[in-house]
Structure 1
Amino acid sequence: MTTTSIPRPEYPRPQFVRDKWLNLNGAWQFEIDHGRSGKDRGLHTEDASMGQSIIVPFCPESALSGIGNTDFMDAVWYRRTIDIPADWAGERVLLHFGAVDYHAEVWVNGKSFGTHRGGYTAFTFDITDALQAGSNTVTVYAEDDLRSGLQPRGKQSGLYHSHGCDYTRTTGIWQTVWLECVPQSYISSFKIFPDPENECVHLEAKLNGQTKGLQLVCEASYKGRPAGSAAVRLGAMSARVTIPVSEVHLWQVGAPELYDLKLQLVSTEGGQAVDTAMSYFGLRSVQLDGMAFRINGKSVFQRLVLDQGFYPDGIYTAPTDEALKRDIELSLEVGFNGARLHEKMFEPRFLYWADQLGYIVWGEHANWGLNISNAQGLAQFLPEWIEGVERDFNHPSLIGWCPFNETWDDGRTGSRQDNEVLRIVYETTKAIDPTRPVIDTSGNFHVITDIFDVHDYDQNPETFKARYESLRTGEGEVNASFPNRQKYTEGLPYFVSEYGGIWWNPGQTDGKAWGYGNRPTSEEEFIARYDGLTTALLEHPKMFGFCYTQLYDIEQEVNGLYTYDRKPKFDPAIIRAINTKRAAIED
């Protein structure tokens, strides 16, 4: 299979790039295992064969996979052979999975390399010791039971049919599978801490292998010009270094200046490079200042839109890298400057394009479907959330974390959320990342949060505006949506992180459409309502942002500004003119 015929051929981890890698997307053997009996039947062994073929990285529910099975699948199997390039001899070979939903086990040549639980984060196995000359067999098994209450499902439907704001499910592999060649001693991960106020960037690296006699050398450049360097001798499995920046160019919303970064492990004696990786960074700081949200010291009104990351032909997986970029461009065309990445951890390539285009985003997990009324919910949620925070930490476009969305009580038992689950996740997130604000749960029910947000789908601009008058005047109780469950704390930054959801589906006659509130009777009525709701938030002197529901339709939910196939429903210039009005809180 040539590179041009491989689906999603681009490098999957754009902030941590090495030259030696091999994309494993394309045709794999495949089998649905409704009885979870595949191990008993020996499907994990080297000589096993499977009954179907699937195109990875597309999930079997999608049209692009070639399977298109939208029923529940308790488990699925994948198998393919790989040939290791000859020039990788003597080095380590890492097998990477971008995401597998939900509980995966991986074998190479019949040897199990371990398991991973979580449908949204990457995992890696060092498979060097199992490789043999010639062809090698990789086998993947994934169990998926989103109706169990024991796994985050996000917007994947728990019923057979899609309904309301839940859509077609995703099972198994849905991001790129790839091999990477690394030396015996190599950089395994790193975190970048931009420090524009002090004209430098700090870096923490984790290392694998023998580090004696090596140093970490870091070189920053801007548009090809050297912009700073630093080196530190290694004596442990981690290192810290500060790189002074000779010319300061800030990463701004809509003006994304970026630096290239080369990281090397270099011998202290001979000076030869042992390992080389390429990355990039943006000089960007975020800060909460009273009711304002400041980026590089400037109050920026967050004109956000809800983006759920679904595609008609790929479901969770964008058909191309260009499609990821295009969704951001469509949002920018109608005047938004960012998005809540909703009920899903988006793939790193989306965040890469957000970095490149100066588009701000909030990171969120797919918590819906997970019972968090007891500590077991924490055990299921926290490990994957930590992986996601660590994975996406270095993206300048990511300006805040929101692990949970609308933590409703368990409908099956009536039990309330365990507040300790939210508190522990919040505290853990702050410990891993002290540089960004954290919202414990968007909308409800807040326990401990840096920002108080509410969801409000009132379709009447007058009553919608009046609901936030007490926040403006300081007189009376501030709207908390669920006053018996959560209270606004005076002085907390405040924003409406979901509103609108105005449905507009002219010409649809199948009766399956769904949206919030009453449908407008004309395009003019839609625009007037959109203008009234949005302007009420822009003109509020104590509101730092909004998030409109939503960017595009998804299946039966028809409240997007674009259709599911990304066609505009309205003249983009009209929506852009409303969204880009000056906000009262902006400097």
Structure 2
Amino acid sequence: MSTQALSSSMTTIPRPEYPRPDWQRTDWLNLNGVWSFRFDPDNEGISQTWHTKNEIAYDSEITVPFSWSSPLSGIGKDDKGIGWYRRSLQWKPSESDSRIFLRFGAVDYACDVWINGTHAGAHKGGYGTFEFDVTDAWAADRENMIVVRAEDYDNDYQARGKQGYGEIRGIWQPVWLEARPQAYVRDAKFVTSMDGRVEVTASVIAHEEGEAELSLSFAEGSIRHTEALKLTAGENKVTTSFIVNDPQLWSPETPHLYEGELRLSGGFGTDVVSTYFGIREIGTARFGDRGYRWITLNGKPVYLNGTLDQSYHPTGYFTYPSDEEMRDEIYLMKRLGLNFVRIHIKPEEPRKLYWADKLGILVMEDMPCFWGKPDETARVSYESEALEIIDRDYNHPSIFSWVMFNETWGLMSGEMTPGLTSDITKRTGYQPQTQEWVREKYRWAKQLDPTRIIEDNSPCNWDHVESDINTWHFYINGYDEVRAHVSEVVDKTFPGSDFNYIGGNVQSDAPLMNSECGNVWGIEGGAGDSDLAWHYRYMMNEFRRHDKMCGFVFTEFRDVTNEFNGYYRLDGSDKYFGYEAFVPGMTLADLHSPDFIVIDAPPSQTVHAGADVTVQLLRSSFSDRHHGQTLKVEWELWYDSLGTRRVADSGVIEEAWNGYGVAPIAPLTVRMPKQDAVAVLAIRLVNESGEALMRNFVTFDVRSGQANGVYDAEGGFVSIPAGDFSDQSFDHQWNAIQGAKVNGVRKGQFVYEVKLPDHAAQETIGSIEILFEASAKRVLARNVEGSKEQEIGVNYMHGAAANVEYNPNTYYMTDDEKHESRVHVLIDGERIGTFVLPDDPADSRGVLSWHYQPAAKQLDEAGSYGYLCKATVPGRLAAKLDRSRSVRLELQADEGGIALYGRNAGRYPIDLLIRYS
């Protein structure tokens, strides 16, 4: 086959690349693509010998490697039970005396394989990779029939993880044939040290005894090492080591990989495996006189800015359609300034881990949980799968931690209410004997892999037993509530404390970090699909003000089927946090900087116009990059005066940047503007080269106390509350945010009767301008039919789909999908202006819609805001109004509807304003 023809044929194969770039051979055949398929609901296939008969009527086709429940499989049926796969092909290795292996990335759950009617082997476990030596059954000179029987009944003892988002039934990772010589390297583990020492433990399988040579070559041959071996028939353990001079350390910032190969040669031929390693050390250490540890990477503290990744795709479910999409996942994380990801209760696909290695992001990898009770069957199943996972992924430098269990799932012998609780009566299902089994698994994992951080159980029920890191989960909304909660956890964390531990166990000096947080569950009925930008910013400040904390895991990377708290939509499209509107150039990445200025203040507070306000600042450093330098904290207090940006105050603080951790710096006292305004304290941390290292801000609702407000503009104002309309004609109309915001759905109008000052108060009126804040109005199902809360039980936690439009808290965060409208302004029936309202947005720019939320656990169109509209009344109409001093103001919306924002809602601190002069 020509190179061009080969390339053309490969493009038709899904996931055509070699599945294991960390352990790759060249003589192989990708078996992804179309297979014959048949369900076996009555379990009759074995008794009727479907594995031996070519004439069995396979009634459909399936695309491997996609789960039969997923759309990309071509089946798309989430049927529990048994599925049979068949494929016929002819293939022979390049070397005639090679051994042939049939390899599976993963099959859920129980799997049997036949080659030409001969049983090749069986495997149980939905996440581990496995292989069968099919040499004796394979015919090199004719077509061969491969038959796979996969059985998945969702048994309670199965390690399933959070598959409710999309089941991984049957074959769900790549399948391939691979040739090896009669002696080959089955696997090898690399243990690296910062001084360049690399220890290698390899397993060599030989079919007869003899002499061999194992050579290692990396970094284009600049690193070489050779071992002479005397092989016995069967498995041979080989231990060796070598030194890398001037080692280049792996980190998220510098993800250096030593790529190369292992070569086993002898009378049997040559086995060549392409592989790589990264030199890095993960640990924990005390610094200075602290009585607690931080997590370290290569001997230095590292602040872990992380996200929870369900690693779920809308069409492939837990199987990504392409290698490019897996690579792009890592780019999307790094684009946000994140340096680590927690793969949630499942191991990641090897190719995605390769991209984590290659592009540089740390990985916390969970073991998948079972959902039944921790009986002997479940324990054996779990242990088998956990061993496969750790063995398979051992060499990935990106993986820094193994998490053995999550939120005590599968560890309860009785019923338990899901979610964070300190009520001991709801935790009694976690029995002492099970706690000891968890301790055993923690120590077992440490023995298997002493190079990584091991966590016993990532807890939401204060129930650690023994762990290398002291983590906890919380889902709480509201600044005061989050601040109090985090402070309490920090205060109760110290060696010997029994807080966050169960069964008489107590804390060590293990590092404290959060391993799940967010406001997705911190609101009654769940947050639905709503803005997260406001909550996220103050939560980052709260974390970074505590010296004891060394990281967090935000829930989550992407939206999924029942949780909409992602940085991105499920399809990878952007959400807009709006931070750049407060500090030019600011993005989410600014909140993830290792060098950080904490603004120790509420995200917004009400202050008097002209008042002096003092704000405490702290510095937080988890990098030595700028230690020994003098950094500048540049700050300004600015406000938007009816569309014009004005600076009320500004200055610079010079700070000697020395040492790790958190410390106070000089507080700021700023003078507020002398008018109604949303004022912004914006800061930039700048290095000696003038580069901004991070940006941050807080806001103030500045109030003059005057009935019509005070604004920096000529003339006088008449202020009309948005809810004081005299008439309206919309399909649906309601008020929100304590009446400060009014909504009209689809085409209609609001009518206001306005009285201008009489002649005694204002002798003449020469000009009139109408100002208001408005957005389009996207109607949700709950706006028409009423709210409907979905029960948040175990099924929901498994990933049950939610109709988010019925959620009482839903108000879609600003994203790539726009909802446009137009509003026409009429004075006494004559149109004087038309404005395009590009969207119905909600994000951190809706300061007042956040500041005036009445309850932390309930969202009322939170973060929503509009666009400043200004319409000048023509002179001839102004002259008429000068005489009558009475105005009929109509705001007419097209099919996109309208929302009007009053003084205590939206982005601008105004009601409807009539400016006159």
d(CA) in 1 for partners of 2:171, 2:52: 20
C-alpha deviation, 1:358, in angstroms: 1.0
Distance 1:46 1:88, change over 3 A: farther
Which stretch of structure 1 is more off in the superposition, 457-466 or 339-348?
457-466
One-letter amino acid of the structure 2 residue matched with residue 421 of structure 1: W
Corresponding residue of 1:216: 214
Which stretch of structure 1 is more off in the superposition, 317-326 or 80-89?
80-89
Corresponding residue of 1:361: 363
Corresponding residue of 2:320: 318
Corresponding residue of 2:202: 205
- Equivalent residue pairs, number: 557
Matched, 1:458 2:476: yes
d(CA) in 2 for partners of 1:553, 1:479: 36
Corresponding residue of 1:399: 400
Which stretch of structure 1 is more off in the superposition, 209-218 or 227-236?
227-236
Corresponding residue of 1:426: 442
| Matching residue within 504, 510, 533 for 1:492 | 510
**Higher Cα radius of gyration:** 2
| Matching residue within 114, 125, 148 for 2:121 | 114
Corresponding residue of 1:552: 558
Retained in 2: the 8 A contact 1:105–1:141? yes
d(CA) in 2 for partners of 1:475, 1:115: 47
Retained in 2: the 8 A contact 1:457–1:517? no
Corresponding residue of 1:183: 181
C-alpha deviation, 1:518, in angstroms: 4.3
Matches within 5 A, 1:102-251: 102-132=109-139, 133-146=141-154, 148-157=155-164, 167-197=165-195, 199-209=196-206, 210=208, 212-221=210-219, 224=220, 226-236=222-232, 237-251=236-250
Which stretch of structure 1 is more off in the superposition, 449-458 or 45-54?
45-54
Distance 1:257 1:34, change over 3 A: same
C-alpha deviation, 1:434, in angstroms: 1.0
Retained in 2: the 8 A contact 1:59–1:172? yes
Matched, 1:97 2:92: no
d(CA) in 1 for partners of 2:309, 2:260: 30
Q: Secondary structure at the match of 2:11?
A: helix
One-letter amino acid of the structure 2 residue matched with residue 246 of structure 1: N
One-letter amino acid of the structure 2 residue matched with residue 287 of structure 1: G
One-letter amino acid of the structure 1 residue matched with residue 308 of structure 2: L
d(CA) in 1 for partners of 2:498, 2:158: 29
d(CA) in 1 for partners of 2:504, 2:362: 28
What does the per-residue CA deviation read over 1:191-236, in whole Å, with 9 as the maximum and x for residues that have no partner?
0111222x22111110111352112111221xx3513423243345
d(CA) in 2 for partners of 1:343, 1:180: 30
Matched, 1:21 2:21: no
* Gap regions ≥5 residues in structure 1: 158-166, 505-513
Distance 1:411 1:53, change over 3 A: farther
One-letter amino acid of the structure 2 residue matched with residue 277 of structure 1: V
| Matching residue within 48, 55, 68 for 2:63 | 55
What does the per-residue CA deviation read over 1:319-356, in whole Å, with 9 as the maximum and x for residues that have no partner?
10111111111111112111001011111001100000
Q: Secondary structure at the match of 2:66?
A: coil
Retained in 2: the 8 A contact 1:264–1:273? no
C-alpha deviation, 1:257, in angstroms: 0.8
Retained in 2: the 8 A contact 1:24–1:176? yes
Retained in 2: the 8 A contact 1:515–1:557? no
Q: Secondary structure at the match of 1:354?
A: helix
Distance 1:123 1:151, change over 3 A: same
Alpha-carbon RMSD across the aligned residues, in angstroms, is: 2.6
d(CA) in 2 for partners of 1:240, 1:515: 57
Q: Secondary structure at the match of 2:560?
A: coil
d(CA) in 2 for partners of 1:192, 1:156: 32
Corresponding residue of 1:7: 14
Retained in 2: the 8 A contact 1:152–1:370? no
d(CA) in 1 for partners of 2:495, 2:269: 62
Retained in 2: the 8 A contact 1:503–1:559? no
Query: Higher relative contact order at CA 8 Å, sep ≥6: structure 1 or structure 2?
Result: 1
One-letter amino acid of the structure 2 residue matched with residue 314 of structure 1: G
One-letter amino acid of the structure 1 residue matched with residue 575 of structure 2: K
d(CA) in 2 for partners of 1:194, 1:382: 26
What does the per-residue CA deviation read over 1:287-312, in whole Å, with 9 as the maximum and x for residues that have no partner?
11132111111111111100011100
Retained in 2: the 8 A contact 1:470–1:476? no
Matched, 1:387 2:388: yes
Q: Secondary structure at the match of 1:335?
A: coil
Retained in 2: the 8 A contact 1:461–1:532? yes
C-alpha deviation, 1:34, in angstroms: 1.9
TM-score by length of 2: 0.58
Q: Secondary structure at the match of 2:595?
A: coil
* Gap regions ≥5 residues in structure 2: 1-7, 287-292, 417-427, 579-585, 597-619, 623-659, 661-917
d(CA) in 1 for partners of 2:525, 2:568: 16
Corresponding residue of 1:82: 89
Retained in 2: the 8 A contact 1:193–1:201? yes
What does the per-residue CA deviation read over 1:452-474, in whole Å, with 9 as the maximum and x for residues that have no partner?
11001111233223233356557
Corresponding residue of 2:40: 33
| Matching residue within 527, 533, 537 for 1:527 | 533
Retained in 1: the 8 A contact 2:494–2:508? no
Structure with higher strand content? 2
d(CA) in 1 for partners of 2:36, 2:490: 60
Corresponding residue of 2:811: none
Which stretch of structure 1 is more off in the superposition, 395-404 or 572-581?
572-581
> In percent, how many aligned pairs have the same letter?
33
Matched, 1:579 2:592: yes
Retained in 1: the 8 A contact 2:511–2:550? yes
Corresponding residue of 2:900: none
One-letter amino acid of the structure 2 residue matched with residue 35 of structure 1: D
C-alpha deviation, 1:239, in angstroms: 0.7
d(CA) in 2 for partners of 1:244, 1:477: 38
d(CA) in 2 for partners of 1:327, 1:425: 31
What does the per-residue CA deviation read over 1:557-580, in whole Å, with 9 as the maximum and x for residues that have no partner?
211111110111125953222222
Retained in 2: the 8 A contact 1:29–1:49? no
Retained in 1: the 8 A contact 2:309–2:343? yes
Corresponding residue of 1:416: 430
One-letter amino acid of the structure 2 residue matched with residue 456 of structure 1: F
d(CA) in 2 for partners of 1:155, 1:170: 10
One-letter amino acid of the structure 2 residue matched with residue 416 of structure 1: Y
Q: Secondary structure at the match of 1:76?
A: strand
Q: Secondary structure at the match of 1:207?
A: strand
